[in-house]
Structure 1
Amino acid sequence: MGLGPVMLDIEGTSLTPEARERLAHPRTGGVILFTRNFESIAQLQALTAQIHALRDPRLLIAVDHEGGRVQRFRDGFTRLPPAASLGRAYDADHQCGIDLAEQAGWLMAAELRAVGVDFSFAPVLDLAHGVSGVIGDRAFHRRPESVAALAQAYVRGMRRAGMQAVGKHFPGHGAVREDSHLTLPVDGREMAEIEAHDLRPFAMLADTLAGIMPAHVVYTQVDELPAGFSRFWLQEILRRRLRFSGAIFSDDLGMAGAEFVGDYPQRARAALAAGCDMLLVCNHPEGAAEVLAELEAAETDPVAQVRLARMRGQGHVDGLAGVQQLPAWKAAVDALRGLAEFPDAELNV
C-alpha cells in the first residue's frame, strides 16, 4: 500500500479505534498534528510511533511549527522566535541574520525529528506587506531578496537536522488583509506586480524546497480560481515556469477560503485536478470521510508517490532529551535567546 493523497487530523492524544480505521484507509497518506494532540514529550513520541507503525510504507506526520505564535508544541520544546525577528536581525547584520535563521531551522527540525515528526509546514515565504494580520510576524521580511536569503538559510538548517521544507503560501498571501481561514481573500494586483515581488522567493527557492503549499487566495487579474485550485498557478507557473518538482500540499480544505469551490468532495477533486499531490482535511471528520469515499477508486499517481516519499524525515530519532544534550542544541538556544530584544509585533515594513 502506497501513500494516499489525503492528510487527516486526529482528535486526541492517542489513537482511537475510529482514528486507526481512517488512517488505515488506502487513500490516507499522512497525519497533521495540532496542540490538542500534545500532552507531554513521552506521550507525543508514543503517538508518532503508533502512527508510523500502522502502515508500511509509514504515513507522513506533519505539524505547523514555525515559531512565534504558530508553534503547536510548547511545554518541553524550545520557544522559537517569530520569523520577523530573524528579519530584523538580518537588517542589523546580514551575516548574523543568516546564521540565526539557519540555527532556528535546525533547532525547530531537530526537536521535531527527535519525537518522530517528519516535517513542519515551514518556512513562510510570504512578504511582510504590513496589511495581513494572519501572516504578520510569520513573514521574514518585506523585501523578496531578504526573504529568500533567510529562507535558504532556514531550510539549510532544517535539512541538516534531517527534515525537508515546505514553503508557503504560494504565490504570496502577504498582500491581502483578509484571513483565508475565515473568508476568501481577493488580491487584485496584476501578474507583473506579483511576479516582481511576492512570487520571487518561491522562484528563488524552487529547486531547494521539497514541498510547497498554495494559498487559498484568488488573484482576480490572473485567474478566477484560488491558487490551490488553479491549474494556471500550479501547472503553468509553479511546475513549468518555476520548474518546481517537489510535492504540492493543499492548504486545509476546511478553511472558508476553499468553500468557493463547492462541498468537500468537489474541493478534493478540484485540488487534485489542479495539481496538488496531497490534500489536507482538518477539523471536520465528516468532510474527511466524504473525501476518502470520493477518492476510493481514484488511481494512484506514481510521480506523486515519489514526491511525497521524499518528505519522510531522515536520521535516527533519539528522543528530545538526547537532542537537548547536544552542543549544537545549546549553541542554537544561546544564539536565538538574543532575539528576545525584538518585540514579536514589530514588522519589517
Structure 2
Amino acid sequence: MTRRRWIGLAGSLTVVMVATIVAIAGGGSNQPGATAKPTAAAGTSAAPPTTSAVASTAAPASTSAPAPTTTAPRTPAAAPTRLPDGIDAARAAARLFLIGFGGTRARGELLHRFAEREWGGVVLEPGNGESPQQVADLLGAIRRAAVGAGHEVPLFAASEIGGELDAVPVGAPPQSQLRDAPTARATALAVAKALHPLGVRMILGPDADVGFAGGPWDGIAYSDDPTAVASMSAAAVAGYKDGEVAAAPGHFPGEGAASGDPAVEAATVGVALSDLRARDWQPFRALVDHAPAIQLSSATYVAFDGVTPATLLPETVALLRGELRFGGVIVSGDLAAASLTGGEPVSRLAVDALKAGADLLWVPGGADDQVAAWRAVARAIKRGDVPKARVAEALARVDALRAKYGVR
C-alpha cells in the first residue's frame, strides 16, 4: 500500500496519543468522555466531530490476548463455475477492482468514472481524507453516482494503520506505539466505530509484518517479535470485526525484511522459505481463521523466483489457501507498485494477479491505468484466458464479504 513514514511527532504529542487509546468493551453505545462522531450513512452528511474520534475512556481490563470472535468465510465445497446471471465479462471485471484516486473532493470526472462503470470498490489513502465529515461527503457523492447509474454500492475501504499513515484522520496512534493485544483490539474498535458511520466497510490493515531493523516497516510494525505481532494483529482484526468493519491485514508472505519499500521501489525479500515459515508467517497463522481478507505483498522473494512480485505468483496463493488454509478474500498488492519490478504495464499485471488467485485487484493512482486494467481483464474473461470459474469464485467470496459487512 502507499504509505509515508510517521515522523516528527513531538514527545508531548506522543504521550497524549498513547494516553488517548480507547479501551471499549461490549456494544456500540457512546462511551463516557467520547465526543460525538458522524452518524450519517455514506450517502448523507454528518456533523463533524469536535475532537479526535479515538478518545480515552478506561484502561484495558486484561493483559492477555482476547480470543478473536470472527471466522473467515470458507470457500464453498462446490465453488461456482459460471458467472452470476445478468453479469457479463465487462461488468464482472469491473467488480473485481478496488481503485484509488487523488485529492479530497468528488469532482465531476471522478463521479463520472463511478457512473460509467460498476467498480467493485474504492481504497482511500493518505491524502484523500482531511476529516471524517469531508470523507462522509466524498463517499456519499461517490455512492450516489454509482447507485444513480444502476450499479451496486462500491465497497469503501481505507488504508488505516495509525498516525500519519491513516487515510481518514481519526486520532489513532501508530501501530508501533501499541504495547499489548487488549490495547490493539480497543484501538481497532475505536477506529471502526469512527469509520463505519462514514460508509467505510474495510480496512487495508492492520500491518501484520514483523519489523526488521532497516526494513520498510521498521518503526511502523507492531513489533520485531513475531509472537507479539501475531497476538496484536489477531486482536486488532477482532476489534475491527466488533465495529462491523472487515480487516485485510498484509502483506503475505511477509515483507518486513524487504530491501526497500515495495510501495515506492522494486524491493526483494532475501530470506529462505523456511525462514518465512518460522518467523513471518506466525502472524498470518494467527489470522487465517479469523480475518475476512488478507492482502498480498508486491515485493519479490528469493524463496520463489526472485523476480516476480508475490502478488502475481500462483505459488503464493497456493501456500495461503493450502498450507495455511485461508478461505477468505485475497486482496492483491498494489499493482501500480508491482509494475515497478520489470516495468510490465498494470493491465497485464491485473490479469496475472487474477489468474494467480487474487479476488480483488487493487489499482491506485491514475484512471488510465485502471481503465486499461479493466479492459485487459474483461478481454481475458471473454477469451477464456481467465476461466469463468476463477472469476465466479472471486465474485462469490467478495459478495459474501459485502453481505457480512452490510455493503448495500
User: TM-score over 0.5 for the alignment?
Assistant: yes
2:253 aligns to what? 171
1:302 aligns to what? 392
Matched position secondary structure for 2:334? coil
| 5+ long unaligned stretches in structure 2 | 1-86, 383-387
1:200 aligns to what? 282
* Shift in Å, 1:57: 2.7
* Shift in Å, 1:10: 2.9
* Mapping 1:159-238, distance limit 5 Å: 159-224=241-306, 225-234=308-317, 236-238=318-320
Q: Does 1:9 align with 2:100?
A: yes
* Shift in Å, 1:16: 3.3
The alpha-carbon distance between structure 1 residues 190 and 46, as it changes in their structure 2 partners (threshold 3 A), is same
CA distance in structure 2 between the partners assigned to 1:167 and 1:189 by the alignment: 21
Deviates more, 1:185-194 or 1:21-30: 21-30
Which of 113, 116, 138 is residue 22 of structure 1 equivalent to? 113
2:9 aligns to what? none
Deviates more, 1:113-122 or 1:20-29: 20-29
CA distance in structure 1 between the partners assigned to 2:311 and 2:264 by the alignment: 16
Letter in 2 for 1:309: D
Matched position secondary structure for 1:120? strand
CA distance in structure 1 between the partners assigned to 2:329 and 2:343 by the alignment: 22
* Mapping 1:1-349, distance limit 5 Å: 4-26=95-117, 28-53=119-144, 54-55=146-147, 56-74=151-169, 77=170, 79-86=171-178, 89=179, 97-132=180-215, 134-224=216-306, 225-234=308-317, 236-255=318-337, 258-260=340-342, 262-297=344-379, 298=381, 301-312=391-402, 314=405
Residue-by-residue CA offset, 1:225-281 (whole Å, 9 max, x unaligned): 2210110011x2011111111111112211156542611211111111111111111
Letter in 1 for 2:113: R
Deviates more, 1:149-158 or 1:43-52: 43-52
The alignment's TM-score, normalised by the length of structure 2, stands at 0.69
The alpha-carbon distance between structure 1 residues 316 and 196, as it changes in their structure 2 partners (threshold 3 A), is closer
Matched position secondary structure for 2:95? coil
CA distance in structure 2 between the partners assigned to 1:287 and 1:316 by the alignment: 26
* Structure that is richer in helix per residue: 1
Q: Does the CA-based 8 Å contact 2:207-2:250 persist in structure 1? A: yes
Residue-by-residue CA offset, 1:212-237 (whole Å, 9 max, x unaligned): 11111111132342210110011x20
Q: Does the CA-based 8 Å contact 1:27-1:295 persist in structure 2? A: no
* Shift in Å, 1:13: 3.4
The alpha-carbon distance between structure 1 residues 31 and 316, as it changes in their structure 2 partners (threshold 3 A), is closer
Matched position secondary structure for 1:28? coil
* Shift in Å, 1:123: 0.9
* Shift in Å, 1:136: 2.1
Residue-by-residue CA offset, 1:301-343 (whole Å, 9 max, x unaligned): 22212322344474799xxxxxxxxxxxxxxxxxxxxxxxxxx
Deviates more, 1:50-59 or 1:140-149: 50-59
Letter in 2 for 1:158: Y
Residue-by-residue CA offset, 1:91-150 (whole Å, 9 max, x unaligned): xxxxxx221111111011111112111111011110012221x31232111222211111
CA distance in structure 2 between the partners assigned to 1:35 and 1:199 by the alignment: 27
Matched position secondary structure for 1:106? helix
Q: Does the CA-based 8 Å contact 1:131-1:176 persist in structure 2? A: no
| 5+ long unaligned stretches in structure 1 | 90-96, 318-349
Matched position secondary structure for 1:245? coil
Matched positions, count: 303
Q: Identity across aligned pairs (percent)?
A: 26
Matched position secondary structure for 1:62? strand
Q: Does the CA-based 8 Å contact 1:123-1:166 persist in structure 2? A: yes
CA distance in structure 1 between the partners assigned to 2:234 and 2:188 by the alignment: 10
CA distance in structure 1 between the partners assigned to 2:407 and 2:208 by the alignment: 29
The alignment's TM-score, normalised by the length of structure 1, stands at 0.80
CA distance in structure 1 between the partners assigned to 2:401 and 2:139 by the alignment: 15
The alpha-carbon distance between structure 1 residues 27 and 292, as it changes in their structure 2 partners (threshold 3 A), is farther
